[in-house]
Chain A
Amino acid sequence: MAGRLFKGAEYLITQATKTDVFTPEDLTEEQRQIASTTEAFVRDEVLPVHERLEHQEPGLAASLMKKAGDAGLLMIDAPQEYGGLELDKVTSALAADRMGVAGAFAVSYSAHTGIGTLPLVYYGTAAQKERYLGKIMSGEWSAAYCLTEPGAGSDAMGGTTSATLSADGKHYLLEGTKQFITNGGFADLFTVFAKIDRKHFTAFLVERSFEGVTIGPEEKKLGIKGSSTTSVILEGAKVPVENVLGEIGKGHKIAFNVLNVGRFKLGANVNGAARAALAEGASYANQRKQFGVPIASFGAVREKLADRVADLFAAESLVFRLAGMIDDRLATLSKETPRYYEAYQQAVEEYSIECAIAKVFCSEVLADVVDDVVQIHGGYGFTQEYKAERYYRDERINRIFEGTNEINRLLIPGTILRRAMKGEIPLQGEVMKATEAMMTPSLDELDPADAFAAEKATLAGLKRAFLVVSGAAVQRYADQIKDEQEVLLALADVAIQIFAIESALLRAEKAAPTLPEARRAAMAAAVKVHTFSAVEKVAAAARRAAFYVAEGDRLTVMLAGIRRFTRYDASGLLGAKRRLAQATLAQERSPL
């Protein structure tokens, strides 16, 4: 991609253009083929046995993993020298997206290919990769990741699992219980985090067959029932010293770095689920008759479809833009670089803010989608006769795992402000400019030749709104801001929506010249519908933040500024919603 290389969070202080973003319309033919293979895998292998999977038929999930391995779906991120494909993050996101339809198996797949495989890829020694990677890529072995403990969830470092070197120095003996381990029931290899001598947080590669490893019973869950979730009990589990993964005492790097990729791929994954749920909703709306007509003819139903399709459009735009950003940065690295994966981690870490945004935004879009899809189904949506019910239950976990949405939200402004204080992003200067702009109303004319002039003008305002409120928050709380979670959450909401609005807008602008008229019109409608609702959210969050951090005259000025910065001319909104709903109902899926 020829676009500019962005720093993390730079989108908040600069104007990106359409050439800076990767969009789903830019996919290559190979990438599209990989998407079709993933679709075919889900359609032919997973969905026909889905009911059996939901009842946890023994051996079934592991056999599906093997089939995914045969299709090459487990080797996307693995290095070529070990037989992997080492494809770009766009491809990896695309596979995750298409796998999203597979419900519970999508979770098994993500755990295996993400947190199950990546620590080994990034931190494994040649001998470790030689020993395990082939088996994991082929699906002969399934993989799991063991960080959470009964007393340590969000506080991941607060675990008590310990590791002690054996008297002969050949083994570490692991003691403790890991909880909520995805794939636990059938995984063969576990990446386990434990503290050596109760101090040095370290990762270990633990085989299921190692002495002292016991797998707990399956959890009875609200959703994703077809995935395996167990505890892993370590009672003097004997792990050979050569199975220490990465450096002793540096386990936190492993634990956290793989989460960035995990979060962004979760975004892609839930988009696939949202697309499937929406299609279900649209087709039901066409079939179901009330008052003698299909409920698809009612504005109340149409508006839901339009709003959700627009949100999904933004979610997809955001994930692929981010995938492209990561790929562009990774492309600057040479594989010959000594400590390649360290540089690689830094490159991904650069976008930890955007990765958290992808996780939060997309999982919440899915939540809205499944809620509306149940609602469109009415009473039937509450029964297990229809898929809507399962989609609704399966959705919930996405706002909890890979870091709760609260943890991810806190991380967004937290990281932005920390980087600003280190001088990595010139936030201070931009805050001053924005504050100045708040005092002096600008009279910029909109470019009538630009189809998205209104959105662009608003976007510039939203960024100023973010700068003004975050500047005020820092001024008020300084270093203590990290303890003011309510303020941070409000700032996060502003930052998240801005990235989404901008990604959707730039995608539509970039794709426009290549699209047939009807699709172009649907995209423009999606931009308007999404921008409108997102701007409302930004305005509410920014006002909330203003009330939290300011008072008196300062507050009055700030509220007036926010009002001006969050102005959006959404003329034609109703028409846009109707057009979008019409196209969705005609195709019985997202038309974008």
Chain B
Amino acid sequence: MALKILVTAKRVEDPESRIRVRPDGSGIVTEGVSYKMNPFDEIAVEEGLRLKESHGGEVIVASIGGDAAQIELRAALAMGADRGVLLRHDGPLDPVVVSSLLAKVVEQERPDLVLLGKQSIDDDQNQVGQYLAARLGLPQGTFASKQESLESEAEQKKQPGVKLAADGKRIRVMREVDGGLETLDLALPAVVTVDLRLNRPRFASLPGIMKAKKKELKDVPAASLGVDLTPRVIIRRLAEPALRQGGVKVADVDELLQKLHQQAKVL
């Protein structure tokens, strides 16, 4: 019943850093910005580790990027993943290319389950998981969540929120949808993208960090995989959102109505 699980660990700007757009709009100011693993991917890694701890198996972590991307892969290995794959590529990417590259990894590794963050917090596109499932013709469960709260006992005990069926051939995914939760039973292999309330990821322990140094990290040139690496989505210009104007106080409902009508033009 052991599960082979592939998870992703993208390197993104730390949301704690102050993000500013470069004056020419060509990108963000990277000076003084720190980086970390995409928080949604961290949840995916955590879920993968919990599934492995419950059912046995292996967690493989993948990322795409240059030397720096190894830092987040090592961080996932330090959390407890067994080995890593770096698809080496410098330059811009889009979800089409990313999903094509990940599909190659899935073809090579043949995991039972692929776990990804539902989106990465840099450009918040929320597309890779869906594309990946479609490319591979696999069932998908997006925005995996769970009924138990993050304060629950199950969470304290680090039980997986994604449940493996007794026969080991299906998983049950609780997903967040507008107006509630939906339960899906997916046949394995499957692709699952995870949402915020699925689990609270562990941080790497110090022994974990020291062990991670010795774990395998395969370095594969992305160009060697026979995938067209040209992004379809090209970022022309970035701009800061307009500054919010300060509010005004109104004397009464009539003035409010008038302002909503004349100034805000919403009535």
Contacts and interface: CB of A to CB of B under 8 A. Distances in A.
B213 A518 contact: no
Interface in B13-67: 18, 31-32, 36
A76 B210 CA distance: 11
Contact of B204 (A37, A516, A586, A588): A37
A71 B31 contact: no
Nearest to A30: B209
B42 to A, nearest CB: 10
A587 B32 contact: yes
Contacts of A70: 205
A546 to B, nearest CB: 44
A29 B210 contact: no
A147 to B, nearest CB: 29
A137 to B, nearest CB: 10
Contacts of B200: 44
Given A29-B74, A33-B78, A75 B31 contact: no
Contacts of A34: 206, 209
A29 B210 CA distance: 11
A586 B20 CA distance: 10
Contacts of B205: 37, 70-72
A344 interface: no
Interface in B73-131: 74-75, 78
Interface string B197-234: 00010011111111011000000000000000000000
A591 interface: yes
B71 interface: yes
Contacts of A44: 200, 203
B31 A519 contact: yes
B206 A76 contact: yes
Sorting the interface of chain B by its residue count into under 10, 10 to 19, 20 to 34 or 35 or more gives: 10 to 19
B136 to A, nearest CB: 33
B217 to A, nearest CB: 12
A76 B205 CA distance: 11
B18 A72 contact: no
Contact of B213 (A30, A41, A587, A588): A30
A39 B101 CA distance: 33
Interface in A513-530: 516, 518-519
Q: Is the interface of A mostly helix, strand, loop or mixed?
A: helix
A177 to B, nearest CB: 37
Contact of A33 (B31, B32, B74): B74
A591 B200 CA distance: 30
A285 B78 CA distance: 38
Nearest to B209: A33
Most chain B CB within 10 A, of A33, A44, A70, A87, is at A33
Contact of B210 (A41, A85, A516, A591): A85
B32 A85 contact: no
B206 A37 contact: yes
Interface residues of A, number: 24
Contact of A72 (B32, B208, B213): B208
A241 to B, nearest CB: 35
A432 interface: no
A40 interface: yes
B88 to A, nearest CB: 18
A475 interface: no
Contacts of A588: 18
B32 A29 contact: no
A75 B206 contact: yes
A71 B203 CA distance: 8
Interface in A146-176: none
B23 to A, nearest CB: 14
A495 to B, nearest CB: 35
Interface in B174-216: 200, 203-210, 212-213
Contacts of B213: 30
Contacts of B204: 33, 36-37
Contacts of B36: 36
A230 to B, nearest CB: 30
A258 interface: no
A118 B75 CA distance: 29
Contacts of B74: 29, 33
Interface string A30-58: 10011011001100100000000000000
A224 interface: no
Interface string A70-85: 1111011000000001
Nearest to B210: A85
Nearest to A73: B206
Nearest to A517: B31
A47 to B, nearest CB: 14
A70 B200 CA distance: 16
A33 B18 contact: no
Nearest to A33: B209
Interface string B1-20: 00000000000000000100
Contacts of B71: 29
B76 to A, nearest CB: 11
Interface string B121-153: 000000000000000000000000000000000
Contacts of A518: 31-32
Contacts of A37: 203-206, 209
A527 B4 CA distance: 53
Contact of A516 (B31, B75, B78, B209): B31
A72 B203 contact: no
Interface string A573-592: 00000000000001110010
A33 B207 contact: no
Given A518-B31, A518-B32, A587 B206 contact: no
Contacts of B203: 36-37, 40-41, 44, 71
Nearest to A69: B205
Contacts of A516: 31
Contacts of B18: 586-588
A346 B45 CA distance: 45
B207 A75 contact: yes
B77 to A, nearest CB: 10
A519 B32 contact: yes
Contact of A591 (B32, B206, B207): B32
A225 B36 CA distance: 34
A72 B31 contact: no
Contacts of B32: 518-519, 586-587, 591
A351 to B, nearest CB: 25
Interface in A314-368: none
Contacts of B78: 33
Contacts of A36: 36, 75, 203-204
A588 B16 CA distance: 11
A29 B36 CA distance: 13
Top 5 A-B pairs, shortest CB-CB distance: A72-B206, A40-B203, A72-B205, A33-B209, A72-B207
30 contacts: A29-B71, A30-B210, A30-B213, A33-B74, A33-B78, A33-B204, A33-B209, A34-B206, A36-B36, A36-B75, A36-B203, A36-B204, A37-B204, A37-B205, A37-B206, A44-B203, A71-B203, A71-B206, A72-B206, A72-B207, A72-B209, A75-B206, A76-B206, A85-B207, A518-B32, A519-B31, A586-B18, A586-B32, A587-B32, A588-B18
Given A33-B75, A33-B209, A36-B203, 8 more contacts: A30-B210, A37-B206, A71-B206, A75-B207, A85-B207, A518-B31, A586-B32, A587-B32
Interface of A: 29-30, 33-34, 36-37, 40-41, 44, 70-73, 75-76, 85, 87, 516, 518-519, 586-588, 591
